[in-house]
């Protein structure tokens, strides 16, 4: 075989591409990985703030539920290669993983580089050829082969596009895969940032940056309720973050109005009754101290009182009915306006990408171009925060490679 002809060419040396490469090479295939950067796995290295939240605990059949409209598409990938299998893969190669306590699984070392090095060691063991500083400018099908143009032209009968989305462009993710897929006849669902924070207009929580609590967030657009989500909310100096915002950011738009439950008590009427009873029994008690004792941090209490026009030195017996209603409104539906969303530079993943209608979920092969496969974030499949997207990258890369090997053996 010529030096520029391979059994399989993979575009992208991220988690999906690397896992596919080691899977195919271990079956005896001559594999080349073309990577635009000078080194592999740049985005993998920054995942989980450099600690690498590899996957999540739970039944493998439940993982697809965290992918919204893509849940049926991603299911075969997860069933083919589960979270338990991924944990064993790294543990068997000297990188033990552990549940952090909230279901998120990290390397015990908390070093994403350990994950990357384990993948690269396996790739080198099976003689995967890495071609760095090789951005792919064009791909075309010529007969049974794909001609891939980078620093020079390479060819292969089998091609895997696994070069990610558009999030974290500083790592090289610039949407290259979309252009390549489109040139081969595939439809691209417009990419947008996902798992990204919300920026607020006239953010009232600037002084509360870093405070987090369990909340319910309602989304309104043109006065119509568009959604309601529950989970942990994080207040930031620019607006809102935390799982309840990140996981549902795809459903929030600039200009939307949000109503936030501040207090970790579900029933408004029950809390109102407690407030009245406390006022009757301990009328001289500070309202500020009462709210703080109810689980609301002092900085946030100050914001609430200011928003309601209530003096900080107010005692329970001084709270008028009007003041009480305003306070309850703020506690259970604090209103804020969305100014904008975090862009691709801070979004954890990309929503949108290669249309799932044109890819076979059980093989990851294109339905329109024989021998063309996809894996990972380049596809229109994005999940919640917590390791689900990395697991999909590994699982879809494995599924694609398994079927690539089958195609290769038939030739």
Q: Helix (H, G, I), strand (E, B), or coil: what is residue 301? A: helix
- For the segment 388-393, the average pLDDT, to the nearest whole number, is 97
Q: What is the pLDDT of residue 3?
A: 60
User: Which single residue is written with the structure tokens 């703020």?
Assistant: 330
- DSSP assignment letter at 367: S
Taking alpha carbons only, the member of 200, 196, 245 closest to residue 343 is 196
- The residue among 265 and 89 whose pLDDT is bigger is 89
Q: In whole angstroms, give the CA distance from residue 107 to residue 232.
A: 24
What is the sign of the dihedral through the CA atoms of 332, 336, 337 and 340?
negative
Is the pLDDT assigned to residue 2 strictly greater than 60?
A: no
- Per-position DSSP letters for 4-35, written without gaps between them: TEESEEEE--SHHHHHHHHHHHHTT--EEEE-
Mean pLDDT of 362-369: 98
How many other CB atoms sit within 10 Å of the CB of residue 57?
A: 17
Q: Which residue has the higher pLDDT, 11 or 1?
A: 11
Strand partners, 130: 33
pLDDT tens per residue, range 164-194: 999 988 888 889 999 999 999 999 999 999 9
Q: Which of 47-51, 91-95, 359-363, 389-393 has the lowest mean pLDDT?
A: 47-51
Average of per-residue pLDDT across 281-304: 92
Average pLDDT over residues 259-271: 91
pLDDT at 12 over 80: yes
pLDDT, mean over the chain: 94
270-279, 298-307, 370-379: which has the minimum mean pLDDT? Answer: 270-279
* Whether residue 92 has pLDDT greater than 90: yes
Nearest to 286 by CA among 274, 301, 272, 269: 301
Count of residues in the chain: 411
Q: Are 208 and 235 in contact (CB under 8 A)?
A: yes
CA distance readout (Å), 290 to 128, 278, 404? 64, 9, 64
Percent of the chain with pLDDT over 70: 99
Q: At a CB cut-off of 8 Å and minimum separation 6, what does 350 contact? A: 164, 165, 166, 167, 173, 175, 191, 192, 193, 194, 344, 377, 382
Distance CA 240, CA 263 (A): 16
Q: List Cα–Cα distances, 377 to 63, 77, 322, 385, 394, in angstroms.
A: 16, 13, 51, 14, 11
Split at pLDDT 50, 70, 90, the class of 132 is very high
* pLDDT band at residue 264 using 50, 70 and 90 as cut-offs: confident
Instruction: Report which of residues 409 and 171 the model is more confident about.
Output: 409
For 201-348, list the strands marked E by DSSP: 212-221, 224-235, 239-241, 257-260, 334-341
* Distance, C-alpha 247 to centroid of its chain: 8
What span, in angstroms and rounded, lies between the C-alpha atoms of 314 and 290? 11
pLDDT reported for residue 174: 87
């Amino acid at each position: 075989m010529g030096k520029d002809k391979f059994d399989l060419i993979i575009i992208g040396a991220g988690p999906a591409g690397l896992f596919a490469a080691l899977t195919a090479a271990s079956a005896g295939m001559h594999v080349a990985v073309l990577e635009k950067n000078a080194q592999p796995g740049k985005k993998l290295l920054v995942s989980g703030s450099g600690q690498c939240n590899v996957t999540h605990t739970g039944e493998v059949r439940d993982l697809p539920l965290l992918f919204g409209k893509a849940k049926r598409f991603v299911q075969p990938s997860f069933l083919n290669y589960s979270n338990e299998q991924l944990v064993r893969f790294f543990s068997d190669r000297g990188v033990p993983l552990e549940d952090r306590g909230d279901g998120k699984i990290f390397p015990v070392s908390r070093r994403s580089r350990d994950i990357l090095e384990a993948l690269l060691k396996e790739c080198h063991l099976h003689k995967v050829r890495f071609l760095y500083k090789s951005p792919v400018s064009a791909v075309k099908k010529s007969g049974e082969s794909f001609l891939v143009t980078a620093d020079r032209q390479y060819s292969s009968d089998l091609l895997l596009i696994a070069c990610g989305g558009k999030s974290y462009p500083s790592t090289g993710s610039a949407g290259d895969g979309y252009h390549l897929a489109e040139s081969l006849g595939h439809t691209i669902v417009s990419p947008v940032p996902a798992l990204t924070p919300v920026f607020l207009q006239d953010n009232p929580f600037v002084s509360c940056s870093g405070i987090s609590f369990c909340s319910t967030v309602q989304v309104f657009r043109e006065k119509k309720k568009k959604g309601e989500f529950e989970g942990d909310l994080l207040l930031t100096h620019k607006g809102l973050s935390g799982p309840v915002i990140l996981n549902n950011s795809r459903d929030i738009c600039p200009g939307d109005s949000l109503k936030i439950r501040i207090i970790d008590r579900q029933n408004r009427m029950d809390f109102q009754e407690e407030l009245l009873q406390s006022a009757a029994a301990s009328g001289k008690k500070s309202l500020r101290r009462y709210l703080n004792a109810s689980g609301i941090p002092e900085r946030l209490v100050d914001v609430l009182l200011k928003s309601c026009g209530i003096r900080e030195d107010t005692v329970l017996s001084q709270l008028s009915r009007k003041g009480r209603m305003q306070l309850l409104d703020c506690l259970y539906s604090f209103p804020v306006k969305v100014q904008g969303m975090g862009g691709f530079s801070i979004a954890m993943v990309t929503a949108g990408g290669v249309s799932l209608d044109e890819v076979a979920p059980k093989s990851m092969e294109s339905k329109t171009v024989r021998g063309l496969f996809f894996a990972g974030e380049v596809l229109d499949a994005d999940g919640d925060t917590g390791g689900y997207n990395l697991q999909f990258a590994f699982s879809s890369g494995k599924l694609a490679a398994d079927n690539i090997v089958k195609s290769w053996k038939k030739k």
